[in-house]
């Protein structure tokens, strides 16, 4: 399943529903309605080869739309700094994974994890819709 790493505490903020916009400098290669795992990393992943083997799956989301990021998105992105040229990924259908599942690989960009949404929803990893 496709996954996106978000630096702590951003992943937890997505899982809680506090953060509903992810700010990135690139557009995702996702199909309409495709599920995306949110993996919270504990260290910044700055280079393409950087990984964190202690990531935790904290949520499953869908990316509703991708558009230019504006200052109006700051609060929904829990962003402290505006960066021109960024994209706003509007997150919907946020389902928190409680307790977070891991450790799993956290990597750059969108990557594949060997776990299915069926496994998550069949109780192998508890999934609960966020409030």
pLDDT in tens, 61-95: 999 999 999 999 999 999 999 999 999 999 999 99
Q: What is the pLDDT of residue 120?
A: 66
pLDDT tens digits, 3-48: 999 999 999 999 999 999 999 999 999 998 899 999 999 999 999 9
Q: What is the pLDDT of residue 77?
A: 98
Q: Which domains does the chain have, with CATH numbers?
A: 2-129 (2.30.130.30)
Q: What is the pLDDT of residue 118?
A: 77
C-beta neighbour count of 88 within 10 angstroms: 21
Cβ atoms of 91 and 30 within 8 Å: the answer is: no
State the Cα torsion 60-46-31-34 to the nearest 10°: -10
Q: What is the pLDDT of residue 124?
A: 58
In the chain the first and final C-alpha atoms are separated, in Å, by 24
């Amino acid at each position: 399943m496709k996954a996106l790493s978000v630096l702590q505490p951003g992943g937890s903020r997505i899982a809680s529903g506090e953060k509903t916009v992810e700010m990135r400098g690139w557009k995702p290669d996702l199909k309409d309605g495709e599920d995306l795992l949110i993996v919270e990393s504990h260290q910044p992943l700055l280079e393409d080869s950087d990984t964190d083997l202690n990531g935790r799956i904290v949520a499953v989301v869908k990316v509703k739309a991708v558009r230019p990021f504006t200052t109006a998105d700051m609060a929904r992105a829990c962003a402290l700094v505006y960066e021109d040229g960024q994209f706003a990924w509007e997150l919907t259908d946020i389902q928190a994974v409680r307790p977070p599942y891991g450790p799993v690989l956290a990597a750059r960009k969108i990557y594949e994890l060997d776990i299915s949404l069926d496994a998550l929803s069949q109780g192998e990893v508890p999934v609960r819709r966020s409030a």
